[in-house]
Amino acid sequence: MTNRLSALQEARAGYQPKLPAVLRNGANQVSLTEGENQYPAYDQETLEGLFPNTYGLPIITFEEGSSAGQAAFKVGVILSGGQAPGGHNVIAGLYDGLKSLNPANELLGFKGGPQGLMDNDFVTFTDEFINDYRNTGGFDIIGSGRTKLEEEEQFDLVAANCEKEGVAALVIIGGDDSNTNACVLAEYYAGKNVPIKVVGCPKTIDGDLKNEFIETSFGFDTATKVYSELIGNIQRDANSAKKYYHFIRVMGRSASHIALECALQTQPNMCLISEEIEKDGLTLEQVAEQITDVVVKRAAKDLNFGVILIPEGIIEFVPAMKTLIGELNDLLAHGKTAEEFLGAQDEVALEALGLTAASAASFISIPPAIRKQFVMDRDPHGNVQVSLIESEKMLIEMVKRQLDVKKAAGEYNGKFASQNHFFGYEGRCAAPNNFDADYCYSLGYTAAALLGAGKTGYLSSVRNLTQGADNWIAGGIPVTSMMNIERRHGHDKPVIKKALVELDGSPFQTFVANRDQWAAENCYVYPGPIQYFGPAEVCDQTTITIQLEQN
């Protein structure tokens, strides 16, 4: 059978995403208000020196108005980094917004992420092309990539390609790193009087590109709802069979926002939060002890089952593991081999290979089956790929060991059978729910309005997100205001500050207020699948994270 559209795809193609009221008559029917100048919270002097043209720009808000017609221009767009639900709608919103400014405007989609800009590999969008992708998940419209656009030669190459094609502006749809690079590019072109504007759109399921004005990154809402549905289903299975502990690792390269949101949605028996583990300076053994405690207490009530969420990034937040990974990266980059570490029989042998005593002990504490994941697969920079470390399996092994000890000491008399899961790719390309379909379309449309106003160095911003699209506020935030200086690969670099889970914030505090009860009892919530059609209270719910943050 040839490719066909599912019934939902057919119906969803006709969905008209909601825009903020102010944009509904077109990106040309707005007036632009410049608010207060925005400055970064850290490293102001250094950043001002690095970004003389794009530092301290004002916040922009669009209001109802009208603008004079303007000459047509061409825009290039890329998708950068990991997939996130709604990327196609950002492009559709950008396309429609540009056409509303001037029907002769053109949008070029550069293929495969930043690399496409350097290879000058693009497609020119038409109505027919765009229509096939409206409200669909995935990034397959033009593909994405993780090539970094950060060297001056690359910037010059991109400028040459843009000049050749007559492209006057670029839209970078990406996370914190891609938008950092977008901002550096904007500054470089402004400084050299290259007439190319650069605007970004905040993407990542990880939810860690956010601040006062960027209330959430797109894709986080849909992805966490997909994972929450799956977690709810597993909870129901656990509560039916009453024989398994399910250890579920959920994506989130660094921050634990996804795990926390899923916990608030589903109320599992436990959810580890990396940021808290780091603050408490716990070892992995202590993290396992926390889980063991819950298993033992539940067993005393004859509850030998449960669900435990683990954030993907956990390993790098356990201080001893972070140190170990750093030392391994270094030693492997300087001649030592994975086989040597795997063959070492004890701590003395590991120290002879160059590990410190503390790291040798940490390495030995890792279950042998998992040790390999710490010394194999490096990324192009020689770093361990943390997402490939199966921390859920590692913790299962450690908890088993601890339970055996307790059983032998007569402190535990339950049964422990486990299942492990990793949820990530299951959610990244889901068809955007109403929130992400609307939000993404609005972000793209707003980006068009920013470019129509000749702005550069801005991130498209749609705010007031819990109040319904009618009341959303569209505008732009200068990217330099989100930056700080961080040490990366031995150099000080300006980067957008990653938003980690705030331990004094309302989402985490709400979790803390409930977690003991969730551990001791079964308070499971079963969110069910995303609904695309139906009552607003079922279809248009925002994440609990954003609801709590805004109240």
The footprint of ligand FBP (CB under 6 A) covers 81-82, 84, 175, 204-206, 251-253, 312, 387, 424, 428
Nearest to 87 by CA among 254, 201, 242, 195: 201
- Shortest reach from residue 84's CB to ligand FBP, in Å: 6
Which of the residues are catalytic?
A: 206
Cα dihedral: 477, 181, 196, 109 (round 10):
-100
**SS3 per residue for 298-345:** HHHCCCCCEEEEEECCHHHHCHHHHHHHHHHHHHHHCCCCHHHHHHCC
Nearer to ligand FBP among residue 206 and residue 436 (C-beta) = 206
Nearer to ligand FBP among residue 107 and residue 223 (C-beta) = 223
- Shortest reach from residue 543's CB to ligand FBP, in Å: 16
- CA dist 126 and 108 (Å) reads 9
Nearer to ligand FBP among residue 253 and residue 455 (C-beta) = 253
Nearer to ligand FBP among residue 30 and residue 84 (C-beta) = 84
Task: Quickly list DSSP for 43-54.
Answer: -HHHHHHH-TTT
- CA dist 474 and 447 (Å) reads 9
Contact criterion met (CB below 8 Å) for 483 and 496: yes
- Shortest reach from residue 164's CB to ligand FBP, in Å: 29
- CA dist 485 and 365 (Å) reads 35
Tokens for 13?
Answer: 């193609």
- Residue 459 carries which side chain, given as an amino acid letter? L
Nearer to ligand FBP among residue 259 and residue 473 (C-beta) = 259
Nearer to ligand FBP among residue 96 and residue 316 (C-beta) = 316
- CA dist 394 and 385 (Å) reads 16
- Shortest reach from residue 214's CB to ligand FBP, in Å: 14
Torsional class of 44: left (φ above 0), alpha (ψ -120 to 50), beta (otherwise): alpha
- Shortest reach from residue 250's CB to ligand FBP, in Å: 9
Nearer to ligand FBP among residue 175 and residue 444 (C-beta) = 175
Q: Is 106 helix (H, G, I), strand (E, B) or coil?
A: strand
Torsional class of 49: left (φ above 0), alpha (ψ -120 to 50), beta (otherwise): alpha
- Shortest reach from residue 204's CB to ligand FBP, in Å: 3
- Shortest reach from residue 381's CB to ligand FBP, in Å: 14
Quote the DSSP letter at residue 20. -
- Shortest reach from residue 75's CB to ligand FBP, in Å: 22
Nearest to 22 by CA among 58, 66, 59: 66
Nearer to ligand FBP among residue 135 and residue 256 (C-beta) = 256
- CA dist 371 and 340 (Å) reads 12
Report strand pairing: 30-37 vs 58-64: antiparallel
Contact criterion met (CB below 8 Å) for 525 and 266: yes
- Count of other CB atoms within 10 angstroms of residue 379: 13
